[in-house]
Amino acid sequence: MLGRDVFCRSILLRNEVSDPKRYHLFFVLLVLLFLLTCLFSYPDAYSNIPKKVTDEVARYIPITLQSSSPTIVTSNFQNSHLKTREDPYFAFNSSDCPTEEWNNIRTSSIPNSKLHREWLDKKLKTIKYLYHTSPSVLAAFVHKDQIIVTLTSENQYNTTVYCRYYDCRRREISDHFESVIFPQSTVFCARRPGAKYISISKTLKENPEYSVPIVPRTQRPPHYFTVCMATLYGDEPKFLQIVDFIEYYKLQGATFFHIYLRNVTDYDRVLLDDYVRTGDIEIIKMHDHYWRDDFMWHNSQINDCHHRNKYFSKWTAVIDIDERIEIRDDSYRTVANYLDTVHNSSIVNLHFLVQWVIKQNNTPARYESDEQLIREMIFHKYQNTSKVGDLWNQPKCIIRPEKIGAMTIHLPTAVYEGEQFTPVPPSVGVVRHYRNVEQRVFAGALQRMMSHGPFTLLPIPHWIDEELTKTIVRRVKWVYNPVDVECIKKQRTYNIHGGISAPCWLEEQAMND
């Protein structure tokens, strides 16, 4: 560098006595020399920097290694670590609809259509109920050879309708299918490639209702024993009944629950949402565009439960929140163990008789303490039990969903194969029905129960009592008894958010003033 400076000074001295043109020429040469020196010195200087330093600098400044002339860097340096080739899973644009292999099937008919027509001609027991003027689609399930659509209307039996299909962008696929509403609140549709949503209309000219997603049911059933809870509604608090119901049937071997919901309190809903979080239940909201009272959803709920569990579970119990299927034979112990002994494929509906238990009070609205919770548990508080009812006195069922053609609250009205019902001996199992003495809706329910006296105190088996008590307390405390902290800690956290104060802190300040 010293030699270079001397050279530059000598040139400048000579230029002092030269004419202006020569002075300008030498000045230009000097500038060019300076630029070339900087250019060729940069790569050498960079190569001498330790790698640890360059890696750290590269996090903030785009540095490109160069061995000769510089190259303009046009890519975003922040994405330089990403692959240049798109992942095949994301190789589509906003107008594409990727089609799964299982969803690339077209059919032109539905299975059992001839049998359905025979059942229609026999006019299976059905009534036109309520005042719907459209099908009112609830849900849809695709099987290997058909799509089953459930409805909430109950007055359009044997009406000709059209299955309307939509792709993943809800664009209609111009390949409709003509069908009929059968059984009550059900439409069987053919399959269409790429169909992700479906709706039902009475004509092809009308605007169909909002489409619903088509849920796959094309694989082996993921569950062995599931339970459907009839629609929740009414003013009685539900949280304790809900947790009792779910935890009881878990002990009986159930692995999933379909909970049909009309309305519950916000407090009760917190518990339901926690069961959704842990993957124990699916909530199906019962609502449509037409009037009906809350207790009038039972038939459409039963129908949806039946079809929702086809190829979802081998066995499904169709019961109410106040009913417990109880195995009385110690050699079986649980419902699932009993089902394991059923090897006759003609058994498609296990028919359980009922014993009523008098329930004099509502369950509590909120959790207060462990002592209160244990005291109020239904199986602790209510044990006054009737005799077993007769064969047709409100029995309840565990069914093989895929073998049932049409289902009602207490019995299938049609089966594809097998026996319509198989009574379970009361010595093996019964339904323990906790009947509230307050007659909210159904006239005659109390009288029917009391006609099955005399009543005797009959507790549930000890092992169930013990396990059920523990599981109920654990779940309720997890949901309704969150870990609290001192007020000063709350205030510190509140203060982070713009200096606001915790309610408890304000109360303490007011008391100290």
CA distance 64 to 348: 73
pLDDT at 28: 73
Residues 205 and 230 reside in one and the same domain: no
pLDDT at 86: 83
Strands 349-352 and 422-423: parallel
Q: What is the pTM of this model?
A: 0.83
CA angle 226, 264, 378 (to 5 degrees): 65
In Å, what is the CA distance from 438 to each residue of 194, 235, 348, 377, 434?
Answer: 52, 12, 35, 18, 12
Q: What is the CATH number of the domain that holds 168?
A: 2.60.40
Query: Helix or strand or coil: residue 500?
Result: coil
> Among the three residues 216, 245, 269, which one is the final residue of a domain in this structure?
216
Domain count, the chain: 4
Residues 276 and 387 reside in one and the same domain: yes
Residues 209 and 254 reside in one and the same domain: no
Q: What are φ and ψ of residue 118, in 5° steps? A: -65, -45
Nearest to 147 by CA among 191, 109, 177, 179: 191
Residue 19 lies in a domain: yes
Nearest to 355 by CA among 447, 441, 445, 435: 435
Residues 153 and 274 reside in one and the same domain: no
For every one of its 513 residues, what pLDDT tens digit does the chain have, with 9 covering 90 and above?
Answer: 444 454 444 444 444 444 556 666 777 777 777 766 665 555 444 455 555 545 554 454 444 444 444 444 455 556 666 667 888 888 889 999 988 999 999 999 999 999 999 999 887 767 889 999 999 999 999 999 999 999 999 999 999 999 999 999 999 999 999 999 999 999 999 999 999 999 999 999 999 999 999 999 999 999 999 999 999 999 999 999 999 999 999 999 999 999 999 999 999 999 999 999 999 999 999 999 999 999 999 999 999 999 999 999 999 999 999 999 999 999 999 999 999 999 999 999 999 999 999 999 999 999 999 999 999 999 999 999 999 999 989 999 999 999 999 999 999 999 999 999 999 999 999 999 999 988 665 677 888 888 899 999 999 999 999 999 999 999 999 999 999 999 999 999 999 998 899 999 999 999 998
Residues 246 and 145 reside in one and the same domain: no
pLDDT at 11: 45
pLDDT at 18: 47
Q: What is the CATH number of the domain that holds 385?
A: 3.90.550
Neighbours of 299 (CB within 10 A): 19
Q: What are φ and ψ of residue 313, in 5° steps? A: -150, 150
Q: Which two tokens stand for residue 260?
A: 């049909």
Residues 290 and 439 reside in one and the same domain: yes
**Residue recorded with tokens 């419902």:** 335
Residue 279 lies in a domain: yes
Residue 154 lies in a domain: yes
Residues 293 and 401 reside in one and the same domain: yes
pLDDT tens digits, residue range 464-502? Answer: 999 999 999 999 999 999 999 999 999 999 999 988 999
Query: Helix or strand or coil: residue 160?
Result: strand
CA distance 474 to 80: 51
Cβ atoms of 358 and 437 within 8 Å: the answer is yes
Residue 499's domain comprises 487-513
In Å, what is the CA distance from 443 to each residue of 234, 326, 438?
Answer: 16, 27, 10
- The packing angle between helices 462-480 and 239-251, to 10°, is 130
Residues 381 and 424 reside in one and the same domain: yes
In Å, what is the CA distance from 135 to each residue of 26, 176, 188, 199, 223?
Answer: 93, 16, 13, 9, 30
Residues 120 and 13 reside in one and the same domain: no
Cβ atoms of 307 and 141 within 8 Å: the answer is yes
The runs of H, that is alpha helices, within 79-230 are: 113-121
> Among the three residues 216, 243, 271, which one is the final residue of a domain in this structure?
216
CA distance 110 to 282: 28
Residues in the chain: 513
Residue 276 lies in a domain: yes
Cβ atoms of 206 and 176 within 8 Å: the answer is no
Nearest to 4 by CA among 26, 49, 34: 34
Cβ atoms of 416 and 183 within 8 Å: the answer is no
pLDDT tens digits, residue range 315-332? Answer: 999 999 999 999 999 999
Residue 87 lies in a domain: no
> Among the three residues 160, 182, 216, which one is the final residue of a domain in this structure?
216
CA distance 292 to 308: 23
pLDDT at 2: 44
Residues 313 and 400 reside in one and the same domain: yes
pLDDT at 50: 56
Residues 359 and 311 reside in one and the same domain: yes
Residue 430 identity (one-letter amino acid): V
Instruction: State the DSSP string of 369-406.
Output: -HHHHHHH-HHHH--EEEEEP-TTSS-EEEE-GGGEEE
Bridge partner list, 160: 180
CA distance 181 to 177: 13
Residues 227 and 345 reside in one and the same domain: yes
Residue 464 lies in a domain: yes
Instruction: State the DSSP string of 221-275.
Output: -SEEEEEEEEEE-SSS--HHHHHHHHHHHHHTT--EEEEEES---HHHHHHHHHH
Strands 429-436 and 354-359: parallel
pLDDT at 22: 66
Residue 83 lies in a domain: no
Radius of gyration of the chain (CA): 37
Residue 91 lies in a domain: no
Work out the end-to-end distance of the chain between its first and last CA atoms, rounded to an integer number of angstroms.
78
Q: Residue 311 — left, alpha, or beta (φ > 0 → left; ψ -120 to 50 → alpha)?
A: left
pLDDT at 37: 66
pLDDT at 80: 61
169-175 contacts: CB < 8 A, separation 24 or more? 169/95, 169/97, 170/197, 170/211, 175/106
